[in-house]
Amino acid sequence: MQYVGRGLDDVDARRLRVRRPDSPRGVLDQTIIAAYPNADLAEYALELLREHSPAAPKEAQVLASDRDAALDRLQDFAADVRKALEAGNGVLIIRVDEADAFEARELLDEDTRSLWTMATPPVPARAANGRG
């Protein structure tokens, strides 16, 4: 590095490397639920997530009805989702690798301004896929 005055003039970045997250991938999955004012906005949020986030959802679904079978898989979270759907909201449900969950939740919560966002506890990836 060369210093000029009180600031940096040049930085040699040739030896810099991108460090991958320490979290192992493929071990745990996490489901993230986000509510939006309507189903169209939930669809838009899903499209934005797919296009602009390296956290690709393993599974994704937009709910517009409280009769959807996906509610049964949400267990303790189903009541909150039903309330949102009864209020006319659209609800986005995604399943991501647990290593990507923070980034995905941040995008849904802050960048797309969901009404609310919650994450279920991580589960073994095999069980989340219905194989375990």
- pLDDT, tens only, 57-91: 999 999 988 777 788 888 899 999 999 999 999 99
- 7 confidence band (pLDDT: 50, 70, 90): low
18-51 tens-digit pLDDT: 555 666 788 999 999 999 999 999 999 999 999 9
What pTM value is reported for the model? 0.76
The alpha carbon of 33 is separated from its chain's Cα centroid by a whole number of angstroms, namely: 8
State the Cα–Cα distance between residues 88 and 44, nearest whole angstrom: 16
28-124 topology per CATH: Alpha-Beta Plaits (3.30.70)
Computed over every residue of the chain, the mean pLDDT equals 85
